[in-house]
Structures are given as C-alpha cells and as structure tokens.
Amino acid sequence: MRTSGGLSVAITRARDHLYLSTHQRVTSQSAAPSPYFTLAAGPSAPLVTAAPWTPTQLPAHPHGAGDKPTFSFSELAQYQSCPLQYRFRQNLGFQPQAAKELGYGRAVHHVLRRLAEHVRQHGDVPSLLGFEQLFDREFYLPYADRSAWETMEARARTVVTHYLTHFRADLDRVWEVERSFELHLDSANVVGRADVILDREDGLPGGLALVDYKTRSVAKVDEAMALQLQVYTAAARGEGYDVRAAWLHDLTAPKAAARVTVASTPDVVLIATQALTALARGVRDRSFPAQPGDGCRYCDVRPLCRHARTQ
C-alpha cells in the first residue's frame, strides 16, 4: 500500500488501537479528507462523527523488575478524577489548548519566592519602590494578550500585597520554596513539588510546615488537594524531616479564612500513601474506566468522550 511516511509509521507502530481521523471543517471552510486518509480508510468508508469507542482495560505491558514507572503527583490526581480523561490526555496526547491564564499561579508563586529570597538576603521586605521593581521584573505570563495580562497582573499585585500585609512573618520562616519530593511506592515512584516549606513550626527550629498556595478561591478542600499535601508530608518524613503541619493557603481569602489545615497525622498520611499506591497501580495495570461526574462540565476531552455526563 502506498501511504505517506507518517501514516505508515502510525499504522505499523500502533500498539493497542489505531484511530484515523479527518476534519469536516478547518475553521469555517469545508475540508476533504487527505488522500492518505481515503486510501487507508477506503473511499466509501462511513464517516463516524460520534465520540470514538475506547477500551477501559488495555492489555498489560510486560513489566520488568527495573521499569518501575515514575508519575508526577498531578498525573495521578488527574487519574483519580477520571481514569479515562487521564488516558486521553497522557496516553493519547490530547492536551488542552494553552489558556491565556496559563502560568498565573506559577507567576504569583515566583514573585513570592523572590520576596522570600530578598528577605533572606536583606533581613526585610523591599521598600515600596523596590517591591514595584521586583514585581515588574519577575511577573510573567507566557500566553496572555495585553488585556488578559493587565487584568491578571492587577489581580496578582493585589494578592501579593495582601500576603505581605497579613503574612509578612511567614517570609522570615521560609525554609525552602518549590521543593521537589520523591515518594517511592511499591508499584511506582511519585514526584512533585511543595510550594513553600516554613521552618520553626510550633516555635521549633527544624519543625516544618508544608504550605500549598492557591491563587484561586478554595470553596472547599477537596480530596486531591489534601492528598497532595499528605503525600508530600510522607515524602518529607521519609527523608527524615520533622513535618508538624500542612495547610492550604488561599491567597485570595481574607486573613481569617486564608489557611485551612490539612490532617497530617501518621495514620492519615499512611492512608493517603495507600490511596496513591492504588492510583499508580491503576495506571500501571492500564485500567481506564470512565468516571463521569461534575468534572465532565470542565473536561477538555469531553467532545471525544461517550460517557460525558450531560447535566
């Protein structure tokens, strides 16, 4: 069969299933299938416009002793919210379009990090002018157009100023920012980063508190948010650190409501580790059932999914 090089590669290297797709429209213009699509599918192949069938369970890969997979925490959190969504995104490569807001949270974290470094170096926060200069230099959004930039920059300035006003003392306690963690489970390794770690929790040098900054309002602490902090707590304790607390810090909330404590007692952390092990095992065993729910409303791969909850 004469096919394009790319199509030959797809056909001969597909491991589980092969889907061929074509556009009916490109922007507003009708588009005919490419000659290669027609050749491969046959000229009279019926066009299927419904969401494609996807298997929920794939044949297991032969795993050797040395190929323990490594997942990021966010990958496993995505699997937890819907295994089929994980499959579409991580295995089949359907990534969401870059949003204008992409990087906002990271940009705010970065400014806070620079402020913490300034305090460490100079013993105090910068002057008002110094703060403005630092903010202008460090705040960056890769995908924002001018109007989105102005809106988000103003929002970030408010959030950071609010933090400096009410949580200035935290900056004297910063032990590390964006600290990487690795947790070694039986079935997988899990990697992630804690936003901030504060020292002197309970007034004790070496007593640490893990903090996860949220740049959007947290209506309630969901399972994934708590799991993340509990997993990092397990990893930090595994390295021998004395983690005494973990909390979410809603940077948009009034001072009194900004901090929400997440349970981090040894028994809770053990349960979190077991939950993470089960998630990693699910990915490793290639089990991808759909888990329709409220998340379907915001799911980027919804047009491809025949299980999407409609209400």
What residue ranges bind ligand SF4 (CB under 6 A)? 82, 84-85, 290-292, 295-296, 299, 301-302, 305, 307-308
Residue closer to ligand SF4, measured from CB, 166 or 297: 297
Task: Report whether 201 contacts 209 (CB < 8 A).
Answer: yes
- Rounded to a whole number of angstroms, the minimum distance from the CB of residue 283 to ligand SF4 is 15
Q: Distance between CA atoms of 42 and 227, rounded to whole angstroms? A: 49
Tokens representing 130 are 């110094």
Q: In the complex, what is the shortest distance from the CB of residue 288 to ligand SF4, in angstroms, rounded to a whole number?
A: 9
In 3D space, the residue among 203, 190, 211, 204 whose CA is nearest the CA of residue 273 turns out to be 190
Residue 56 CB, shortest distance to ligand SF4, in Å, is 11
Smallest distance from ligand SF4 to CB 155, Å: 28
Compute the C-alpha angle 171/177/179, nearest 5°: 150
User: For residue 304, what are the CA distances in angstroms to 236, 286, 301?
Assistant: 39, 19, 5
Q: Which is nearer to ligand SF4, 35 or 289 (CB)?
A: 289
**Closer of 182 and 223 to ligand SF4 (Cβ):** 223
Element spanning 81, H or E: helix 73-81
Contact 33, 45 (CB under 8 A): no
Instruction: Provide the Cα torsion 253, 258, 263, 265; round to 10°.
Output: 160
Cβ at position 84, least distance to ligand SF4 in Å: 4
Pull the structure tokens for residue 173: 């306690």
- Rank residues 103 and 295 by Cβ distance to ligand SF4 and give the closer one: 295
Q: Give the shortest CB-105-to-ligand SF4 separation in angstroms.
A: 22
Closest to ligand SF4 by CB, 81 vs 277, is: 81
| Residue with smaller CB distance to ligand SF4, 82 or 262 | 82
